Amino acid sequence: MVITIDGPAGSGKSTVAQEVARRLGFAFLNTGHMYRALGLAARRREVDLNNHMELTFVARHAKVEFDWTKNPPAVILNGERVTHLLGSREVSDAASYIAVVPAIREMMVHQQRAIGTELGDVVTEGRDQGTIVFPTAQCKFYIDASPEERARRRYNQMRSRSESVEYKEVLDQILARDKRDRDRLVGPLEKPVDAIAIDSTSLAFNDVVDTIISRVEAVR
Ligand code: DC
Q: Ligand 1: which residue has its CA nearest to atom 16?
A: 127
Q: Residues 86, 20, 143, 82: what is their CA dihedral angle, to the nearest 10 degrees? A: 10
Predicted confidence at residue 82, as pLDDT, reads 98
Spell out the residues 6+ positions from residue 109 whose beta carbon is closer than 8 angstroms to its own.
Answer: 128, 132, 133, 187
> How many Cα atoms sit within 13 Å of 26 on the Cβ side?
24
Lowest mean pLDDT: which of 27-36, 74-83, 124-133, 152-161?
152-161
- Spatial strand order of the sheet with 80-81 comes to 64-67, 74-77, 80-81
- The burial of 20, by beta-carbon neighbours within 10 Å (0-12 exposed, 13-18 middle, 19 or more buried), is given as buried
Residue 136 confidence (pLDDT) above 90: yes
Predicted confidence at residue 167, as pLDDT, reads 96
Task: Give the closest residue to 182 by CA, choosing from 220, 131, 141, 119.
Answer: 131
Q: What is the DSSP letter of 46?
A: T
The three-state secondary structure class of 66 is strand
CB of 143 sitting under 6 A from ligand 1: no
Residue 56 confidence (pLDDT) above 90: yes
Instruction: Identify the band that residue 132 occupies on the pLDDT scale cut at 50, 70 and 90.
Output: very high
Backbone angles phi, psi at 28, to 5 degrees: -120, 120
The mean pLDDT value for 93-106 works out to 95
The mean pLDDT value for 119-136 works out to 97
181-205 tens-digit pLDDT:
899 889 899 999 999 999 999 999 9
Quick check: 187 and 127 in contact, CB under 8 A?
Answer: yes
Q: Say what the pTM is.
A: 0.95
Predicted confidence at residue 158, as pLDDT, reads 87
Predicted confidence at residue 208, as pLDDT, reads 97
Ligand 1 centroid, distance to 121 Cα (angstroms) = 22
Atom of ligand 1 at shortest range from CA of 129: 18
Ligand 1 centroid, distance to 52 Cα (angstroms) = 17
Atom of ligand 1 at shortest range from CA of 180: 10
65-96 tens-digit pLDDT:
999 999 999 999 999 999 999 988 899 989 99
Task: Give the closest residue to 11 by CA, choosing from 198, 158, 171, 160.
Answer: 198
Ligand 1 centroid, distance to 125 Cα (angstroms) = 9
Task: Go through the domains of the chain in sequence order and give each one's CATH number.
Answer: 1-26+121-220 (3.40.50.300), 32-120 (3.40.50.300)
Predicted confidence at residue 47, as pLDDT, reads 97
Q: Ligand 1: which residue has its CA nearest to atom 10?
A: 96
